[in-house]
Amino acid sequence: MTTMQLKETALASTHKKMGARMVDFAGWNMPVQYKSIISEHMAVRNKVGLFDVSHMGEFLVSGQDAHNFVQYVIANDVNKLKSPNCALYTQFVKPDGGTIDDLIVYRREHDFLLVVNASNIEKDWQWLQKHSNSFKDLKLTDISDRTGLLALQGPKAQELLSKITSTDLANMPSFAYDKAKVNNFDISFGRTGYTGEDGFEIFVDVDHLDKLWQILFDVGNNFGIEACGLGARDTLRLEAGLPLYGHELDESTSPLEAGLDFSVKLDKGEFLGKDALYKQKELGLTKKLIGLRTESQALPRAGYEVNIDGTKIGTITSGSQGIFVGYPIAFAYVEPKYAKLGQILNVTIRNNDVKAEVIKRPFYKRCH
Amino acid sequence: MADSPSKTLSYPEELKYVKTHEYVRVENDTATIGITAFAADQLGDVTYVELPKAGTKLNKEDKFGVIESVKSVSDLYMPATGEIVAVNDRLLSEPELVNLDCYGTGWMLKIKLSNTNDLQDMLSAKAYKEFVVE
């Protein structure tokens, strides 16, 4: 128990009224589950689920130098955002190659919106301040406290959101960003998410957050919507092969080690962490993230040891029952020579070695 | 939206409880052991229950097994000393019974009590309920 006052989103009392179990997540009092993680997970895979992720951080970057600054602090290439109203996934990388955070960058009409992990808001803010000195015409604004964020995820998300906006969502590409009016207030949304399903992450001023939640639920009832907590968010992202900061990514792990090569653009020009990442690419990695499937009823969990013939070769970073796929799945860091698909390893679960096979990530890929 | 905003958890009067969240149902010198509705609710969806074999003798407060849910792993503790005479094998294939019916089909062990004095240290339904709402 901590004596520190936990922060709450504008929906905290709504969550409690709905029977959510609240837990301390990165200093925030957040719903971990409502009825059942399994049922919330399946609702997102089969229908639609709604998550309150307002604890996440949002920074605005504006000014003449905004583009160059963002390009300097991220590992992906901001020039991929050819016109306003689209987004990309990326990381802030330290000069030694370690990861400060992973985030989504939205290019908007007049600025960039950076959405970062709740646990890293202060660290990221200081990191950006520290590296902003050589950029003259630059304004950084932390709008986390004013920004509500809901994730509407699942195969029915588009149809549901279409009921309350006039935007042509059928033709909205993945990672596009748009604005709309709902009732008398403004929302904006990216076709993004953290579940492996189609869906939207919807930004709204905190004053309208509760109203937006209610509207999405009222309309969503016809689609079988379920309120989803951080428990299902974790099992969904794991099944979808997505990293979680603090588990698969941290300050001693590079995005290349995490297998995020698609989001690291070494040829884009100078940026923080480039030399270290370049060296890793040239010399090879010392550890590699793998996907594992175990043959056990007992579940592989973060921190469990991975061995081969009794010799430790790595550690599980996340593990759970793959609720949709139907078998236990995990991420682990191992020595690269053991990272081949089909490699058989052992995971030590409570002093017993359980057989595990290196399998392809994502563990789940949607087909609709 | 959740159907029942604040779920009510039950604690049958005829059972005895311990602070590690196991219950016992006593019939003569045999006790049926399981986990309480509070514990099942806290764990969430149970995915695996690891239990000892019949014939094992365990002391009060010894670890007798492990229960896993999607979110967490917890140890199970003996509420009383005794020899295990039966184990609920159904939990191997249907661990969700612990969530659905913890005091009925979700039972875990039956033991032959070595010392009925163990029962005296246990909590009544009322006292256990007060303990968990603290």
Chain B residue with the nearest C-alpha to that of A22: B42
Q: What is the pLDDT of residue A3?
A: 55
- Condensed to tens digits (0 to 9), the pLDDT of residues B11-45 reads 999 999 999 999 999 999 999 999 999 999 999 99
Asked whether the beta carbons of B134 and B54 are under 8 A apart, the reply is: no
Question: In total, how many domains does chain A have?
Answer: 2
- Of the candidates B6, B50, B70, the beta carbon closest to that of A320 is on B70
Q: Which residues of B touch A227 (CB under 8 A)?
A: 1-2
Q: Are residues A219 and A149 in the same domain?
A: yes
Domain assignment present for A49 = yes
Question: In total, how many domains does chain B have?
Answer: 1
Last residue of a domain, one of A178, A213, A239: A239
Q: What is the pLDDT of residue B1?
A: 35
Q: What is the pLDDT of residue B7?
A: 56
Say if the Cβ atoms of A18 and B44 lie within 8 Å: no
**CATH code, B98:** 2.40.50.100
Asked whether the beta carbons of A269 and A72 are under 8 A apart, the reply is: no
Say if residue B79's pLDDT is above 90. yes
Domain assignment present for A215 = yes
Which of A48, A321, A327, A351 to mutate to probe the B interface, most B CBs <10 Å? A321
What is the domain range of residue A195? 12-54+145-239
Q: Are residues A290 and A235 in the same domain?
A: no
Q: Are residues A296 and A354 in the same domain?
A: yes
Where does residue B61 fall: left (phi above 0), alpha (psi -120 to 50 degrees), or beta otherwise?
Answer: left
Q: What is the pLDDT of residue A7?
A: 96
Asked whether the beta carbons of A25 and A230 are under 8 A apart, the reply is: yes
Query: Tell me, what DSSP letter sits at residue A1?
Result: -
- Condensed to tens digits (0 to 9), the pLDDT of residues A40-72 reads 999 999 999 999 999 999 999 999 999 999 999
For chain A, the residues whose C-beta falls within 8 A of a C-beta of chain B are 17-21, 32-38, 217, 221, 227, 231, 235, 297-299, 301, 320-321, 323, 350
Q: Which residues of A touch B7 (CB under 8 A)?
A: 19
Say if the Cβ atoms of A298 and B71 lie within 8 Å: no
Residue B133 binned pLDDT confidence (cut-offs 50, 70, 90): confident
Residue B4 binned pLDDT confidence (cut-offs 50, 70, 90): very low
ipTM of the modeled complex: 0.85
Domain assignment present for B13 = no
Say if the Cβ atoms of A227 and B1 lie within 8 Å: yes
Q: What is the mean pLDDT of chain A?
A: 96
Q: What is the pLDDT of residue A334?
A: 98
Domain assignment present for B26 = yes
Q: What is the pLDDT of residue B8?
A: 74
Q: What is the pLDDT of residue A368?
A: 65
- DSSP H or E segment with residue A235: helix A230-239
Q: What is the pLDDT of residue B2?
A: 37
Q: Are residues A188 and A290 in the same domain?
A: no
Q: Are residues A349 and A235 in the same domain?
A: no
- Condensed to tens digits (0 to 9), the pLDDT of residues A161-204 reads 999 999 999 999 999 999 999 999 999 999 999 999 999 999 99
Domain assignment present for B133 = no
Amino acid at A363: F
Q: Are residues A292 and A234 in the same domain?
A: no
Cβ-based contacts under 8 A for chains A and B:
51
**Which tops the pLDDT comparison, A118 or B133?**
A118
Quickly tell me which residue has 């989103």 as its tokens: A9
Q: Are residues A210 and A318 in the same domain?
A: no
Domain assignment present for A263 = no
Tokens of A353: 């070695």
Span of B4-8, B43-47, B82-86 with lowest mean pLDDT: B4-8
The pLDDT > 90 percentage for chain B reads 89
Domain assignment present for B45 = yes
Say if the Cβ atoms of B71 and A301 lie within 8 Å: no
Say if the Cβ atoms of A217 and B1 lie within 8 Å: yes
**CATH code, A315:** 2.40.30.110
| Regions of chain A with pLDDT less than 50 | 1-2
Q: What is the pLDDT of residue B5?
A: 38
Quickly tell me which residue has 């309920």 as its tokens: B129
What is the domain range of residue B96? 19-116
Last residue of a domain, one of A205, A239, A273: A239
Tell me if residue B79 falls in helix, strand or coil: coil
A14-18 long-range contacts, Cβ below 8 Å, gap at least 24? A14/A210, A14/A213, A15/A52, A15/A227, A17/B5, A18/A227, A18/B1, A18/B2, A18/B5
Distance (Å) from the alpha carbon of A127 to chain B's nearest alpha carbon = 33
Beta bridge partners of A293: A329, A357
Query: Tell me, what DSSP letter sits at residue A19?
Result: T
Q: What is the pLDDT of residue A316?
A: 98
Domain assignment present for B39 = yes
Q: Are residues A45 and A149 in the same domain?
A: yes
Say if the Cβ atoms of B44 and A33 lie within 8 Å: yes
Distance (Å) from the alpha carbon of B3 to chain A's nearest alpha carbon = 8
Say if the Cβ atoms of A37 and B73 lie within 8 Å: no
Tokens of B66: 């492990």
**CATH code, A177:** 3.30.1360.120
Average pLDDT of span B60-82: 96
Say if the Cβ atoms of A321 and B47 lie within 8 Å: yes
Domain assignment present for B62 = yes
Domain assignment present for A298 = yes
Quickly tell me which residue has 């406290």 as its tokens: A145
